[in-house]
Amino acid sequence: MTLGSYDDERAVARVLATYTRCLDDGRSQELAELFTEDGVLRAMNQEVSGRSAIEAFIASRMELRADGRPSSMHVLSNCLIDVDGDEATAESDWVYLRREGEGVQVALAGRYRDRLARNSQGVWRIVEKEASALSRPPP
């Protein structure tokens, strides 16, 4: 394990948080742009490769309320980020909250495992992201 600079860790954490915001806000194109061109997403017992395929996969599963507000929220916690030069790994716990009527309920929880790389412009991108839920066995 190699610890990178605080700035690198914060930049990686921002990518992880932006992913969940895009997911909840219905911004599938912006979410897909967080990945490298050949990035891989493993979620819901499926594997999707490439930005356009990731965008389509996410867009097909997004739900917004009639008023345009998100119907869900993913909350990240316990983020462990390790940076080694231009590569990073991260593990983050997540909780999926869902609106039910006037209230909110915990619908699911799990862990993200990410591998990221910094590109030639100095921007961190997701190379691989795996989402495993507590209630679903891994594929």
**Cβ contacts of 100-104, under 8 Å, gap ≥ 24:** 104/73
Q: What share of the chain has pLDDT > 70, as a percent?
A: 88
Q: What is the overall mean pLDDT for the chain?
A: 89
The range of the structural domain enclosing residue 125 comes to 6-133
With 50 as the cut, is the pLDDT of residue 137 above it?
Answer: no
Residues 6 or more apart in contact with residue 17 via CB below 8 angstroms: 76
Residue 52 lies in a domain: yes
CATH number, domain with residue 51: 3.10.450.50
Structure confidence at residue 15 as a pLDDT band (50, 70, 90): very high
Strands of the sheet containing 124-133, edge to edge, are 46-49, 35-43, 124-133, 103-118, 87-100, 72-84
What is d(CA 139, CA 136) in angstroms, rounded to the nearest whole number? 9
Residue 138 lies in a domain: no
Is this model's pTM higher than 0.85 or not?
yes
Q: How many domains does the chain have?
A: 1
H or E stretch covering 3: none
Residue 129 lies in a domain: yes
Residue 1 lies in a domain: no
| Identity of the amino acid at 99 | R
Residue 10 lies in a domain: yes
> Over the stretch 34-71, which tens digit does the pLDDT of each residue have?
999 999 999 988 999 999 999 999 988 876 666 666 77
- Give the residue among 44, 46, 31 at the shortest CA–CA distance from 96: 44
